[in-house]
Amino acid sequence: MRPPLLNPLFRPVTSLDGIGEKLAQAIRRVLGGSDADPVPRVGDLLFHLPAAMIDRSRRPEIALAPAGAVVTLRVRVDRHQKPPPGNRRVPYKVFAHDDSGEIALTFFHANDAWLARTFPVGETLYVSGKMEWFGGRPSMVHPDHVVSEADLASLPLIEPVYPLTAGLTGKVLVRAIREAIDSVPSLPEWLDPAMVAREKWPSFAAALRAAHYPEKPADFEPTSPHLARLAYDELLASQLALAIIRHRQRKSAGAARTGDGRLTRAIVAALPFELTASQKQAFAEIAADLAKPERMLRLLQGDVGSGKTVVALLAAAAVVESGAQAALMAPTELLVRQHARTIAPLADAAGMRIAVLTGRERGREREETVAGLAAGDIDLVVGTHAIFQEGVDFRDLGLVVVDEQHRFGVHQRLALTSKGKATDVLVMTATPIPRTLVLTYYGDMDVSRLTEKPAGRRPIETRVLPLTRLDEVVARVREAIARDAKAYWICPLVEESEALDVAAAEDRYKALTKALGPVVGLAHGKMKPAERDKQMAAFQSGMFRVLVATTVVEVGVDVPDATIIVIEHAERFGLAQLHQLRGRVGRSDRASVCLLLYKGPLGQVATDRLRIMRETEDGFVIAEEDLRLRGGGEILGTRQSGMPGFRIANAGIHAPLMEMARDDAHLVVDRDPELIGARGEALRLLLYIFGRDEAVRLLRAG
């Protein structure tokens, strides 16, 4: 049950004065809700913060007021000039003056009676609005505020500006937000008093008031005490929810899995290369987790080509040694078969029995695999989400490895383990994610990083060229394929439209086929998967020497002899995407090159991106830079700035607060895992306020 104390914040916005169903729908839209969402609640308005501010504190004399500036003038009303009868296109003007000169206050389609009441001749008033000059004469069209000298204190010198939507005016929204803030009950402090004192933070209610009623321009800074406090509250709610889920999973029966090392030793002996130091370290961390009687929840981060699959195979082998089974899940059939090709010879050398299971396996082949998993005859299955469909059962599933599923949330990670008892989880991602976002999305997991490339890999030479040199690039590709090289040609993102992306790719495919002959393949997201796989396979086998593709395609396939990648309109891509694409080459000991073609003139962010790509291949450096330039959205595959799922916290600005919130959350759960102490009870309120009630439900469920 939600604490009754919070009921005023959980009532619908239609309970607010003057908000009916129609306005409630407009408020839902402005808060980012979809048509399927219910009516927003009063508490949702608390975190709809101003996007900008109008500074009305500038008070020059008329003659010194700059054009285009918002100013507040002290004037004396001289006369009214009404438009000619019957001509509504001519404005109504009120002339006023100060010691420096005269100004025309201009109104279109005015209400004469209202103007006569508002601007009595001879009265001294304060008017605030945007200053305009026409032919050397000052004017203010429809002043935003008009107050008498006696009411000057009511004029907002710093006025917040909120994001709006059709059918919702600023005045209506401000009134609703004011009533929402007045509804905030007296809440106990959920933060550590020593931290509040150290950071000089206000209380939650005072922070909300300062955010919505700023008194000076500095109040809009995201690092201001009140906004930092609210960002921390939001981050703490997130981290506490993750910590509770993690604690529950760890508490739920785990199994200590220790083997004799015979399979892992056989795999290492069969490798054609020496394991890197970070591969050894990552496997040691995983083996230590497996040996504990708790569930393993670990994220393995490694740049493209850093050898994650081998580490995952060693983890699977360790589990198989202990008598259990393992499953490796990849997002596409293409990647499943690539993993199987990499793993098969090593598994054979160790005597591990492996199988493949995707949507393509049918009939007797599928039946044999399913029967083998149920009987325990198969040690490791590699497949798509088909592994977790009904009817697929394991004798003893000890480990699930999830590849490239950074779109998987906490709940999906929980669901993956339902096929076994005490199943351990290893999530792999080739997207280097900055520490702040790792904590945001994987706060329930421990993290291992692979920071080196396997021996024998050569650096990729990255060049930045204008599109005007396209003919030279085509000539260079022609020379390279004559020497048996292979090249990817990535087509540009077009206006956020997959259909237009495909059209651009098809045009480039035709142009390159004309220039290079029938050695060019095409792969894009509108193709049927089987057709796309056929094109990719022809590229892998060498039937095609050039593959034209859009980014919609999962081009994570391993083509070691591809040594050139051309990325058209590189300025339209984010850093993380450019880095992922570049990683398609440089997968052998042959020299590789990445050509970034751009169309000028470039903005500062695009210039910075291309410079960073030229200067470094380190995916973790690139990820941190991407966060700085773009915010957290794009790094995790969504094209927006900020931190997805957060309304106040900003990944680039509030990163240090995320670290603090994580440490704080872990301390709370270690000391008071049921949240029943005084601070724990207050933190339950925080979880409800920020919509993390699933964690409270988990506590109640025991």
DSSP secondary structure of 510-529:
HHHHHHH-TTEEEE-TTS-H
Contacts of 510 by beta carbon, 8 Å cutoff, 6+ apart? none
Question: Could you give the percent of the chain with pLDDT greater than 70?
Answer: 90
pTM for the whole thing? Answer: 0.66
Handedness of CA 403, 405, 408, 412 (dihedral sign): negative
**Predicted pLDDT at 201:** 97
DSSP string, 530-556: HHHHHHHHHHHHTS-SEEEE-TTS---
pLDDT at 641: 37
Q: Give the residue-averaged pLDDT of 330-352.
A: 90
The answer to whether 288 and 338 are in contact (CB under 8 A) is no
596, 613 contact by CB (below 8 A): yes
Burial class, 115, CB count within 10 angstroms (exposed 0-12 / middle 13-18 / buried 19+) = middle
Q: Are 702 and 248 in contact (CB under 8 A)?
A: no
Distance CA 29, CA 23 (A): 10
Least confident stretch, 320-329, 469-478, 604-613, 616-625: 616-625
pLDDT at 443 (0 to 100): 67
Q: Are 692 and 244 in contact (CB under 8 A)?
A: no
Spell out the residues 6+ positions from residue 117 whose beta carbon is closer than 8 angstroms to its own. Answer: none
pLDDT of residue 38: 78
3-state SS assignment for residue 214: coil
CA distances from 527 to 155, 505, 524, 536 (A): 61, 12, 6, 12
- From its phi and psi, is residue 637 left (phi > 0), alpha (psi between -120 and 50) or beta? left
H or E segment and range at residue 566: strand 562-567
Give the residue-averaged pLDDT of 542-554.
82
Terminal-to-terminal C-alpha distance of the chain: 15
Tell me: the pLDDT tens digits for 420-476? 788 898 988 877 777 667 766 666 678 898 888 776 677 899 999 999 999 999 999
pLDDT of residue 1: 79
Helix (H, G, I), strand (E, B) or coil at 405: coil
Name the residue with higher pLDDT: 488 or 360.
Answer: 488
Q: At what angle do helices 575-582 and 604-615 cross, to 10 degrees?
A: 30
* More confident of the two residues 540 and 287: 287
Give me the pLDDT at residue 416, please: 63
Supply φ then ψ for residue 374, to 5 degrees.
-65, -35
- pLDDT for res 378: 96
Type of residue numbered 57: S
Cα 405 from Cα 415, distance rounded (Å): 14
Question: Which two structure tokens, joined as six digits, stand for 146?
Answer: 């008009």
Q: How far is the C-alpha of 82 from the C-alpha of 103, rounded, in Å? A: 16
For the chain, the average pLDDT equals 87
pLDDT tens, 223-281? 899 999 999 999 999 899 888 887 877 766 678 898 899 999 999 999 988 899 999 99
Spatial strand order in the sheet of 486-490: 460-466, 592-598, 562-567, 486-490, 546-549, 520-523
* Max avg pLDDT among 2-6, 334-338, 552-556, 574-578: 2-6
Percent helix, strand, coil in the chain (nearest 5)?
45, 20, 40
Compute the half-sphere exposure of residue 507: CA atoms within 13 Å on the CB side of its CA: 10
Is the pLDDT reported for residue 555 higher than 60? no
Tell me if 595 sits within 8 A of 581, measured CB to CB: no
Orientation of helix 678-689 relative to helix 225-251, angle to 10°: 100
Residue 694 has pLDDT above 70, yes or no: yes
Question: Which residue ranges form the domains of the chain, and what is each CATH number?
Answer: 4-53+161-220 (no CATH), 57-155 (2.40.50.140), 262-450 (3.40.50.300), 460-616 (3.40.50.300)
pLDDT of residue 700: 62
Q: State the number of CA atoms in the 13 A half-sphere of 86 facing the CB.
A: 0
pLDDT band, very low/low/confident/very high, at 576 (cuts 50, 70, 90) = confident
Q: What is the pLDDT of residue 323?
A: 94
The residue that leads in pLDDT, 327 or 659, is: 327
pLDDT at 634: 42
Reported confidence tier of residue 564, pLDDT bands at 50, 70, 90: very high
